[in-house]
Chains A and B, each alone.
Chain A
Amino acid sequence: MTRAFEIKNRIIPYQMLYEAISGTHSLVENILPDHGIPSLKSGLKQIKSVMNDLIIKEQEGLPVIGHHFAFPTEFLYAFDCVPVCIEATSYLLSALLPDGSEPYYDLITHWGHPFHTCSSQKGTMGMTLDDLFRFDAIITPTAPCDNTYASYPWFRYHKKIPVITPDLPFLKAEKSYPYLGKQIKLGLEELGKVIGQEPDYDKLRRAIEIENQVFRMQMEIFELKKALPCPVENMFNAMAAAAAIYLSGRPEKITFYEEMLAIAKRRYKLKEHHGGEEKIRSIWPYMIIFFDLGLCEWLDRELGMSILFDIFNYNFAEPIDTTSDLETMFNGMARKTMEAPMVKQSAEFYYSFIDECVQLAKEFSADCFIFTSHLGCKQFGSVPQILREALRDEVGIPMLLIDLDVGDKRMTSEKIIKDKIRLFAQTLL
């Protein structure tokens, strides 16, 4: 019994998440009309299914592996394990718990963690400090930002958790992919030794093939967003970000995207907008806020403002070749890792980010950009003004800059954010 109790307590935040998701899903299913926020309905349903499965697997004693979002979850399916994304867990709890992840940010800050680091790590660090998570090992690439190499050593040096760190070069060049591919392979082998398993590359291949299948649907949805009005609701951005982590390499992700694609196609045919009338088309080149997902709906319904995409929904990596040899597959995995949101922008100079934003603005008929300048994110701290100038000069559209913490409502509250966007929208209409 003691053993069962201990094992059960290794992922308490996942149980909290499961309960929060179940409660929210139940409300969405039972209270909202059939056509209300389908991405939320479908996303929560699929995440709930995965979460339930992971809780069972954890109770069976499988190792709990923490990982950075920049180390794609499906890579961990080379093992029988319970993957826990450090960053996504902080933010999904931030979105779903009544008090958000703030109590856990405070725990680790009181321990001495600087207030200005990224809340995406602070939440899970606080939970781990309180022993709510008990990781068997953690794996993270040395990217995308200072917060990663600053915060993760705490797990190794204070909590004595083995932390495996495949090195990711801050350089977009052909030589980078074989280097990173080898680093990922070595990382998985080292992880296998820590948890007492051999990496199963056939299982890994199958998980990657699911991602390849999803990629095609992602691209179709992306193309459909060019239509006026945008046939995809704002909430999709948040749910797709969560799906990118929690559903990766799982059949539930295919189901989610099949449903989303079907809805987008139907709306496209009917020229329907989720909020009724699309008045403003916005691009959020960085993140949307996570502590209040209601903002997505408010923008759709109150302002008629579409979020065409945020950073998690315009960076797509090409499918990975799983049909050749292992080296080819690992090189493909390296390419995918380096194309991941934020990693891509870290590994490159700003020039291609600016060019891409300008191109997206033109192709998707954007009326404006909204840049959420996140306290933790220093790597994006020097780009807003040069992006603003490029959008003004080359597309003729404005950009609103909001200083905030995307996972902590105490820095810039929902009301302030809404006020800023409302005023900005008035200047556009």
Chain B
Amino acid sequence: MLNLKENLEAPLPRKTEIPSLSNDAYRKACREQIDQRVKEINQHYQKSASEAWKHYVR
């Protein structure tokens, strides 16, 4: 049974606000290569999911 009571009574730790969970290097990589790779993967998936799995997940 999922008993959360004990955990949820504990106060949340002190947090700091951040603009994003990623950084500039990630966004740059998206523009330069990741977006293109995602597009290619999506095209493979549209043809065949099993083929896409063979090509992209190591």
A, B from the same assembly: no
